[in-house]
Amino acid sequence: MNTYSSSPRRVIVIGGGPAGLMAAEVLAAGGVQVDLYDAMASVGRKFLLAGKGGMNITHAEPFDDFVGRYGARRDQVGRWLDGFAPDAVRAWIHGLGVDTFVGSSGRVFPADMKAAPLLRAWLHRLREAGVRFHMRHRWTGWRDGRLVFATPEGEHLDAADAVVLALGGASWARLGSDGAWVPLLERKAVEVAPLVPMNCGFDADWSEHFSSRHAGAPLTTVALGLADDAGRIAFRKGQFVVSATGVEGSLVYAFSGAIRDRIAADGQATVFVDLLPDQGADRVLEDVLHPRGSRSLSSHLQGRLGIAGVKAGLLREALSKEAFADPRALARALKALPLVLKRPRPIDEAISSGGGVRFDALDEASGMLRALPGVFVAGEMIDWEAPTGGYLLTACFASGRAAGWGALDWVRGGESI
């Protein structure tokens, strides 16, 4: 066991994802010595992975629309964003020497769509500012007022004037954020909403026949919708993928919070797929009813409506034989094919997680835990969620900044823990 010496104004940040790194930046710029601990061998692993498929870092839509993406938490997340709005995120990236561009959907990407150059420049700036990095230090709780870390060399204890916890959610545990912090905080009377998958796929319990033929097939240019209590379906266009067990991909992720909650309430959720979103229902019915002579129904649908491959497979999979043989039911299904989703995929596979430290457990302005004065939280470990599209990273950056400012005020006020 060893102990680092404690200086009068020193803050420990645990977790080197975007939220923790941002808190470290604010603190170091404020003249505080920052020691950043992370369980992994290097920081920002999820951030780097996010950059693999084309890092979407924020969104260029109007601020009101942007804040609306946080749903029930729009007010709380909005307060973080008041301090670091999407425009400020872009300016900050430019300040690191990385250009950004706005895609046709309004999504904002770093110039080469990669996270690595950005992270490299950021870590360089943090080191220059004096941030000390302690890798392979897994925080395991408190003992006698000190933080306990498990390291390959044994146990390490440390204490400082304030602590920022930025431990992430519970998806992709192999990148570091495994949700193991939940019981550590609950033992300290911090209320935590259960961590649940968000931006995740769902199981549909496909037949072996369908799964073996179509797993991995993308459904491009379709629309997806969930019915509201009055049975109205608001469709959204996009694309998703048939997986071996169900559905996944951006269009499914966009509905994933609502689908997950409906499954939790009702045991399953029915989503509706419009297989022909660019054609009106009347036109589809006309085409289905059009005399087909000796052609089979399948080649008729392919010839007149372009329904083939995975679209045709899905129609067969989800529709009863009777409905398939009834032209009106078939035409209705082409515009709103019901798919029954049984359960979300495991949280470890999700892009992000919902749930986490409840806002009631925080002083909202500073991110300080009410039950643990001097301990601040930031990022995905707090109870908010958002769709993909840059909303996750932007909120993590903004809450990291808020927690950094909160901890800075705390140590400047002369308090220590």
- Residues in contact with ligand FAD by the rule CB under 6 A: 14-20, 37-40, 43, 45-47, 49-50, 55-56, 138-139, 166-168, 171-172, 176-177, 180-181, 351-352, 379-380, 388, 390, 392-393, 396
Pinpoint the alpha helices (H) of 238-388: 250-254, 256-266, 281-289, 297-305, 309-318, 321-325, 327-335
> Which residue's CB is nearer to ligand FAD, number 58 or number 211?
58
* Min CB(44)–ligand FAD separation in Å: 7
Q: Which residue has the tokens 């924020």?
A: 58
* Min CB(389)–ligand FAD separation in Å: 7
Beta-bridge partner residues of 192: 357
Sign of CA dihedral 226, 232, 238, 239: positive
* Min CB(154)–ligand FAD separation in Å: 16
* Min CB(364)–ligand FAD separation in Å: 17
* Min CB(224)–ligand FAD separation in Å: 20
Q: Which residue has the tokens 């419009």?
A: 274
Q: Which residues contact 113 (CB under 8 A, 6 or more apart)?
A: 51, 54, 55
Tokens for 338? Answer: 């019901």
> What is the H or E stretch that residue 197 is in?
strand 192-198
DSSP count for the chain of H helices, then E strands: 16, 23
* Min CB(141)–ligand FAD separation in Å: 9
> Which residue's CB is nearer to ligand FAD, number 238 or number 313?
238
CB 181 within 8 A of CB 167: yes
* Min CB(412)–ligand FAD separation in Å: 24
> Which residue's CB is nearer to ligand FAD, number 330 or number 393?
393
Tokens for 216? Answer: 């991995």
Backbone angles phi, psi at 356, to 5 degrees: 125, -165
> Which residue's CB is nearer to ligand FAD, number 34 or number 301?
34
> Which residue's CB is nearer to ligand FAD, number 206 or number 253?
253
Sign of CA dihedral 69, 71, 77, 78: positive
> Which residue's CB is nearer to ligand FAD, number 154 or number 414?
154
Tell me which DSSP letter residue 366 carries.
T
Q: Which residue has the tokens 């470990």?
A: 381
Distance CA 71, CA 224 (A): 19
Backbone angles phi, psi at 236, to 5 degrees: -130, 135
* Min CB(415)–ligand FAD separation in Å: 24
> Which residue's CB is nearer to ligand FAD, number 55 or number 305?
55
Q: Which residue has the tokens 């603190």?
A: 27
Backbone angles phi, psi at 351, to 5 degrees: -70, -35
> Which residue's CB is nearer to ligand FAD, number 169 or number 313?
169
* Min CB(64)–ligand FAD separation in Å: 19
Count CB atoms within 10 A of the CB of residue 91. 12
Classify residue 238 as left (phi > 0), alpha (psi -120 to 50) or beta. Answer: left
Count CB atoms within 10 A of the CB of residue 186. 12
Classify residue 197 as left (phi > 0), alpha (psi -120 to 50) or beta. Answer: beta
* Min CB(414)–ligand FAD separation in Å: 28
> Which residue's CB is nearer to ligand FAD, number 139 or number 240?
139
> Which residue's CB is nearer to ligand FAD, number 180 or number 263?
180
* Min CB(313)–ligand FAD separation in Å: 27
Q: Which residues contact 95 (CB under 8 A, 6 or more apart)?
A: none
> Which residue's CB is nearer to ligand FAD, number 99 or number 415?
99
